[in-house]
Amino acid sequence: MHIVHVVRQFHPAVGGLEGVVDSLSAEQVANGHRVRVVTLDRLFNAPDGSRLRPHEQRNGVDIVRIPFLGSKRYPIAFSVIRHIRDADIVHVHGVDFFCDYLAWTALLHRRKLVLSTHGGFFHTDFAARLKKLYFNTVTRLSLRGYSGIAAVSVSDKRLFKTIRSRGLCVIENGVDIDKYADASASMPTKTMITVGRFSSNKRIDHAIRFLAAINRHDPDWSLTIAGRPWDVSPESLQHLANELGVGSRIRMVLNPSDAAVREAMARASVFLSASDYEGFGLVAIEGLSAGLWPVLSAIPPYVHLVQRTGLGTLVDFTDVDAAARQFLSDWETVSDAHTDHRRRAMDAAAGFNWPAANARYEQFYRTVSGQHVRTILDVPILVKTAEQAVDLLDRQYERQTPAVVAFANAHTLNSTVSHRDMQSALDRAIVFNDGIGVDLASRLLFGTKFPENLNGTDFIPHYLQSSRYRHRVFLLGGKPGVAVKAAQRLACLAPQHDFVGTCHGYYQPCDLPRVLAQIRHSGADILLVAMGNPHQEAWLNQYLEQTGCHLGFGVGGLFDFMAGIVPRAPNWVQQARLEWAYRLLQEPTRLWRRYLVQMPLFLLRVAQQWLTGVRVPNVIPR
């Protein structure tokens, strides 16, 4: 796969976003992908404004730097479009000119676009009202050009969901946990460290005031401030520290290398961040990887991190006296079991490593391109041949965990709009494609049809004939007597299996416990349910686990066909994909609405999805 990342600033710039793109690119190169980074040719904080080399190879990544006009808040660089034409996926990082321009020129370059949010542009209060207006108008429209949006945090998802409710999933950034691994002091020390740009949103001034409040209780505490000057000067921070009487208790490490940060961490036991805005909170996880105890502002990304790891002290830095008392109380417990807390911090950081995050992004890219999964009306449908589907289900059966299998046709997908329980059921199910309507949708949204038509009527007998396991099968549904005849026919087609029971689908609600007990006592491991959708999928979603079966199939009209009650269309009609017309002629009273009203409605909804750009579900399938 050829992946092009587009980001305003990159190497030799240093920062959270630059580090994310650098680490993700390195993982992708290691996994055999061709990777290019397109970025601007000047660093925003370079004092001389000198231009960087227009082209560079770094660790297998092709770096292309392009000129721009305007300010660093919205740098304009039209030439970006020349460097994405050969990409399979264009991954834009952040909401800026690149985000807007590539979306609005999508018909020209015709590349698949995805976006990582990185907090949008709400990192500071500058022009807050204008930003909000822009976000709700221009950004809302620009996001229509993106097949998928990856929110890098739960708080980002909440923010972006206000303007893009579909095709938005959470993929948290990975962290280079090796960079500062095990770097903190092995014994408890009274030194804190904060790492990051000297920017207004990092609120280093709050960190200094916090130190002063702590020193009023215990004057042995000190603070190391490591980072690059941005819109806050080191001189102003030192002046504030002097005013508060803690000038001698702070140490600044300016423009530090990774080695310099490690050296500073070796003297510390606490990681401090008073930031009032973070897109993800990467630097706090780096602090955990070093074995530092985190003391963090109670903003959403940090709250999520502490809840997820069970480590850290959340404080309100606007009330530094209360914050200091809270931390010092926690510190007594942490310092008494320092070795244990240090190890727990490093273990917790391991869950955020880059290989795991990269795997999520690769699945995200494949879903966008429709290689393995195609999302139609918010339902992820697997792209499989019949033989691949058989192998998948056998591997699922080996896990011995209940799984619902559904066959999604246009009627099924239409049902998700008005039946939320159907949507919920399909979100958890293994879903295969069924019918010409879904193929038409696939052609429109992904440029190609599914490899095979996997309707349940043909696939269930094929699976039973092809599975490498001997199954015990129970049939539930249809009118009285129909399931019995269907079981007899299936037993002739696949005699290696045991058909251990049947029950019609017209039982009363009060009989449900008896039906569940009947299935459970039969010892069945496969359950075929013919109740029509959305009822059969909702039933399986709710009750499959109680039956003791491992695979539950929603099979629609299979029993009627197997029992000979409803004849199949001739083979030539099936091959021409006209079986729907044959069935309509047989049962016009029952089926006219499905085929003559719901099919056009389905295609209209698919066209709407095409216009919105959505190509991924809100939860990326693993």
In 205-315, at which residue ranges do the beta strands (DSSP E only) sit? 222-227, 250-254, 270-273, 293-297, 313-315
CB 185 within 8 A of CB 269: yes
CB count within 10 Å of CB 336 equals: 10
Q: Could you tell me which residues are beta bridge partners of residue 347?
A: none
3-class secondary-structure state, position 191: strand
Parallel, antiparallel, or unpaired: how do β-strands 148-151 and 168-170 relate? parallel
* Total count of residues recorded for the chain: 622
| pLDDT attached to residue 153 | 85
Q: Are 226 and 258 in contact (CB under 8 A)?
A: no
| Integer Cα distance of 492 and 475 in angstroms | 15
Q: Are 519 and 543 in contact (CB under 8 A)?
A: no
Burial class of 587 by CB neighbour count within 10 A (0 to 12, 13 to 18, 19+): exposed
Amino acid at residue number 35: V
Q: Where do the domains of the chain lie, and which CATH numbers do they carry? A: 2-170 (3.40.50.2000), 191-351 (3.40.50.2000), 366-608 (no CATH)
DSSP label at residue 78: G
Closest residue by Cα to residue 52 from 13, 100, 7, 81: 13
pTM of the model: 0.75
CA dist list (Å): 236 to 103, 233, 272, 547? 41, 5, 19, 69
- Using N-to-C axis directions, what is the helix angle for 436-446 and 599-612, rounded to 10°? 20
Residue ranges of the alpha helices (H) in 494-620?
Answer: 512-522, 535-547, 558-562, 571-575, 579-586, 588-593, 599-612
Burial of 138 from C-beta contacts in 10 A (0-12 / 13-18 / 19+): middle
| CA-based nearest residue to 200, from 244, 241, 230, 155 | 230
CB 91 within 8 A of CB 102: no
- pLDDT of res. 621: 60
3-state secondary structure of 178: coil
Q: What is the pLDDT of residue 597?
A: 77
Residue 364 three-state SS: helix
- Classify strands 61-66 and 55-58 as parallel, antiparallel or unpaired: antiparallel
Report how far apart, in Å, the C-alpha atoms of 45 and of each of 13, 19, 58, 231, 253 are: 9, 17, 22, 9, 17
SS (H, E, C) 141-192: HHHHHCCEEEECCHHHHHHHCCCCCCCEEECCCCECCCCCCCCCCCCCCCEE
Q: Looking at residue 569, what DSSP letter applies?
A: P
Measured between alpha carbons, how far is 353 from 366 in angstroms, rounded to an integer? Answer: 21
CA 352/CA 27 separation, integer angstroms: 14
Structure tokens at 163: 């303007």
Burial of 447: CB neighbours in 10 Å, binned 0-12, 13-18, 19+: exposed
Question: To which H or E segment does residue 324 belong?
Answer: helix 320-336
Query: What is the token pair recorded at 280?
Result: 């993800």
Give, as one character, the DSSP assignment of residue 84: S
Q: What is the dihedral of CA 301, 306, 311, 316, to 10 degrees?
A: 80
How many CA atoms, within 13 angstroms, populate the side-chain half-sphere of residue 4?
A: 21
In the prediction, which pLDDT does 124 show? Answer: 64
Task: Please list the ranges in the chain whose pLDDT falls under 50.
Answer: none
Task: Measure the CA–CA gap between 263 and 270, rounded to whole angstroms.
Answer: 14
How much is the mean pLDDT over the chain?
Answer: 92
* Tens-digit pLDDT profile for residues 385-408: 999 999 999 999 999 999 999 999
Phi, psi (rounded to 5 degrees) for 458: -90, -35
